[in-house]
């Protein structure tokens, strides 16, 4: 695989919840148009880490971040950088689908655009359709765009959330266990989607499912107790990891 440029990079990132030191000195690189999977046992800090990438971590009362996160080479934690502008460029999809319950399917997808100041109906329509197509949901909802987002099935809601995140064309998309609440068919659909989407966005995905990581990611990072143990090509992590702790985890000896 041809090496692409580094779009996102962390340098010695530390994250705290009050006195709890949840993430320790994590340095990672994410290349554009790749999928990077974050794996590790529950509580090792995967969610915390990806939430430092779009400045969501600091929304938790008492939480703070140290270190640098470079998006296209510039530090998103530099004083004076507005977290709002960062979150518009780095989309996020959560474990539990969370469409806005009082908004229609259309308005859910258009929400980010409206926040960014787009008003023209024709523009919104175009982008909503494009995003729903990208999220492989268009055919299922094109006749009921005015129905509430929460009227969809769980898997459809999660794809709606993906469409909502994609609508503002973020170069990076973070996904925190996006399929852990879904049935196998919905999961397969989203996995397929992730592999297609990487042509357009860089994806960082947290998963508990190692088969999933093996199927869809180019790189895999293994986390343990707040530290990033190793990150490598997925094929290498799952065949000959360098660290014995990674090997133990992958072979199911703990975690």
Partner 1 sequence: MGAQELEQSSLLIPEVKSRKKRRDVHAGDRRFFWTLRAVALLILAVLIAIAVQLFLVSLPAIRHFGVGFVFSTDWNPVRNRFGAAAFVYGTVVSSVLAIAIAFPISLGVALFLNELAPRRLASAVGFLVEMLAAIPSVVYGLWGLFVVAPWLRTVFEPMMIRYFGFIPLFQGPPYGVGMFTAGVVLAIMITPTISAISREIFRAVPLSHREAALALGATRWETIRLGVLNSSRLGILGAVILGLGRALGETMAVTMVIGNRKDIALSLFAPAQTMASLLANEYAEASDDLHLSALATVGFLLFLVSFLINSLARFLVWRVESRQKEGAPR
Ligand X SMILES: Nc1ncnc2c1ncn2[C@@H]1O[C@H](COP(=O)(O)OP(=O)(O)OP(=O)(O)O)[C@@H](O)[C@H]1O
**Per-residue x/- marks for ligand X, 171-210, CB under 6 A?**
-------------------------------------x--
Instruction: Round to whole Å and give the CA distance between 163 and 150.
Output: 14
Closest to 39 measured CA to CA, from 209, 194, 191: 209
Q: How far apart are the two ends of the chain, measured CA to CA in Å?
A: 31
Residues 6-25 that bind ligand X (CB under 6 A): 17, 20, 22
With binding defined as CB under 8 A, does residue 183 bind partner 1? no
Q: Are 3 and 20 in contact (CB under 8 A)?
A: no
CA distances from 178 to 25, 90, 184 (A): 26, 16, 12
With binding defined as CB under 6 A, does residue 45 bind ligand X? yes
**For ligand X, which stretch binds (CB under 6 A), given 3-11, 46-54, 114-122, 146-154?**
46-54
Rg, Å, the chain Cα set: 18
Near partner 1 by CB under 8 A: residue from 12, 96, 142, 240: 96
**For ligand X, which stretch binds (CB under 6 A), given 43-51, 112-120, 188-196, 232-240?**
43-51
With binding defined as CB under 8 A, does residue 159 bind partner 1? no
We find the least distance from the C-beta atom of residue 147 to partner 1, in angstroms, to be 4
Q: Are 52 and 69 in contact (CB under 8 A)?
A: yes
Closest to 11 measured CA to CA, from 1, 2, 23: 23
The residue among 22 and 90 lying less far from partner 1, judged by its C-beta, is 90
Q: How many alpha carbons lie under 13 Å from residue 164 in its C-beta half-sphere?
A: 27
The residue among 21 and 142 lying less far from ligand X, judged by its C-beta, is 21
Q: Where are the beta strands (DSSP E) in 111-242?
A: 172-176, 202-206, 219-224, 227-233
**For partner 1, which stretch binds (CB under 8 A), given 39-47, 73-81, 89-97, 232-240?**
89-97
Q: Site residues (CB under 8 A) for partner 1? A: 54, 56, 59, 84-88, 91-92, 94, 96, 98-103, 111-112, 115-116, 144, 147-148, 150-153, 161, 164-165, 168
């Amino acid at each position: 695989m041809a090496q692409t440029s580094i779009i996102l990079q962390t340098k010695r990132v530390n994250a705290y919840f009050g006195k709890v030191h949840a993430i320790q000195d994590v340095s990672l690189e994410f290349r554009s148009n790749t999928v990077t999977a974050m794996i590790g046992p529950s509580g090792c800090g995967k969610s915390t880490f990806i939430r430092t990438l779009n400045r969501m971590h600091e929304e938790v009362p008492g939480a703070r971040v140290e270190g640098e996160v470079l998006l296209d080479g510039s530090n998103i934690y530099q004083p004076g950088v507005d977290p709002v502008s960062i979150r518009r460029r780095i989309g996020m999809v959560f474990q539990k689908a969370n469409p806005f319950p009082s908004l229609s399917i259309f308005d859910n997808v258009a929400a980010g655009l409206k926040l960014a100041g787009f008003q023209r109906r024709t523009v919104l329509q175009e982008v909503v359709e494009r995003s729903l197509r990208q999220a492989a949901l268009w055919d299922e909802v094109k006749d009921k765009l005015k129905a509430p987002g929460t009227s969809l099935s769980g898997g459809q809601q999660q794809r709606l959330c993906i469409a909502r995140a994609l609508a503002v064309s973020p170069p990076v998309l973070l996904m925190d266990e996006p399929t852990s609440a879904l049935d196998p068919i919905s999961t397969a659909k989203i996995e397929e989607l992730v592999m297609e989407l990487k042509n357009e966005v860089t994806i960082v995905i947290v998963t508990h499912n190692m088969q999933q990581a093996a199927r869809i990611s180019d790189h895999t990072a293994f986390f343990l107790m707040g530290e990033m143990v190793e990150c490598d090509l997925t094929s290498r992590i799952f065949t000959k990891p360098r660290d014995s702790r990674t090997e133990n985890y992958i072979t199911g000896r703990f975690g």
